Structure 1
Amino acid sequence: MSEREYRHIIRVAGTDIDGQQNLLQGLTRVRGVGLRLSKTAIARLNLNPTSRLGYLTDSEVHKIEKLLNDPSTAGFPIWYVNRPKDRSSGRTLHLIGPDLDFAHRSDIDRLKRIKSWRGIRHSFNLKSRGQHTRSTGRHGVAVGVSREKK
């Protein structure tokens, strides 16, 4: 029986993850992968959720990345993905890692460009989901109250 090689840092979907973490918690370090997706992906690939990430082989890491990039082809429900109908392609996508950050930033830029209400609120750095802004959400220097001189 050969001993598996251990790696201290493992790269999954463009994210460096500590090899000491277990598989279930370690996959949640990737942006766009939560605990639910991590748990079901591990079950779908018949992996042990308590095994350490550092002991994964390259083929297992490749299988995990392939499943996380496109969970809809693996038979996951449509509500598992974070972009059920992409605006540009019309396809069902699940973005992870830096792709998710870029898509989020470009969505906000599009809202600003078309001057929608949410885009205007984003451009002024104000709250865009209906919260009150009288006392919270202030930016800049706190002025406070000056004391009267005697």
Structure 2
Amino acid sequence: MGEFMAKAKTKKGAAPKKAKKATATVKKPKSSPKVKAAKDENLRGIVRLAGKDITGDVPLNKALLRIKGIGHTVVKGITKLLETKVGVRGTDKVGQFDDETIEKIDKVLFAIDGSSLPLFLLNRNKDRISGEDKHVIMNDLQFSLRQDIEAKKRSRSWQGYRHSKGQKVRGQKTRNTGRKGIAMGVTKKKK
């Protein structure tokens, strides 16, 4: 009789609905809440890498990205370099390393030059003072950029002139953006 009722309620041209069969619903037993994997007791909480505090549960290749002067493309080259010189992989967590390994990593990071990485990955090709190809990171990078800007100001080049005036240097428009100070806007004259 269930099939007859299903056919009677359908519209013309519509496929007849199939009658529902009585099925026993089996309830799945509730699983216990997921337990997070126990934290490794050998992991250190915070590690100082190249003068930057980094949490210990971060892999090495992600930790290197947090260092100023190291980007995505440079990380790939540095991790290969660290595998050969120090013997650590990019997927290893930073908190696993002992003090000696971290010192070795720091030495490698602060001594990157043209012999260890390809020249196109370095950020200081033909340094102005020493003439060497090197890669500077963290405070050395900030210091060298500041020194370059001061040298341009002293030479009174066009870029140095724009730097000294506080204007845009690379040819951007200045009519609307980059305004500093209090904007006056339009004011009405008092009668």
**TM-score category, normalised to shorter length:** 0.7 to 0.9
Matched, 1:9 2:52: no
One-letter code aligned to 2:179: R
Please point out which of 64, 68, 79 is paired with 1:31.
Answer: 68
Per the normalisation by structure 2, the TM-score is 0.68
- Which runs of 5 or more structure 1 residues have no equivalent in the other structure? none
The alignment partner of 1:45 has SS state of helix
Please point out which of 117, 132, 154 is paired with 1:76.
Answer: 117
Q: How does 1:90-105 map to 2 (within 5 A)?
A: 90-105=131-146
Change in Cα spacing, 1:90 to 1:42, as seen in structure 2 (3 Å) is same
Q: How does 1:105-120 map to 2 (within 5 A)?
A: 105-120=146-161
Bigger Cα displacement from structure 2, 78-87 vs 57-66: 57-66
Mapped partners of 1:100, 1:86: distance in 2: 12
Mapped partners of 1:73, 1:144: distance in 2: 53
Query: Where does residue 130 of structure 1 map in the other structure?
Result: 171
Mapped partners of 1:80, 1:32: distance in 2: 11
Superposition CA RMSD, Å: 2.3
Superposition deviation, residue 135 in structure 1: 1.2
One-letter code aligned to 1:13: A
Mapped partners of 2:143, 2:113: distance in 1: 21
Mapped partners of 2:69, 2:113: distance in 1: 15
Larger relative CO (CA 8 A, sep 6+): 1 or 2? 1
- Which runs of 5 or more structure 2 residues have no equivalent in the other structure? 1-39
Bigger Cα displacement from structure 2, 92-101 vs 43-52: 43-52
Mapped partners of 1:127, 1:58: distance in 2: 45
Give 1 or 2 for the bigger CA radius of gyration. Answer: 2
Bigger Cα displacement from structure 2, 119-128 vs 33-42: 33-42
Bigger Cα displacement from structure 2, 102-111 vs 51-60: 51-60
Bigger Cα displacement from structure 2, 28-37 vs 118-127: 28-37
Deviations 1:14-64 (Å, cap 9, x if unpaired)?
Answer: 222222322111111111111222233223333333332111222332332
Deviations 1:3-22 (Å, cap 9, x if unpaired)?
Answer: 87322221111222222322
Q: How many residues align?
A: 148
The alignment partner of 2:47 has SS state of strand
Please point out which of 43, 53, 63 is paired with 2:80.
Answer: 43
Query: Where does residue 28 of structure 2 map in the other structure?
Result: none
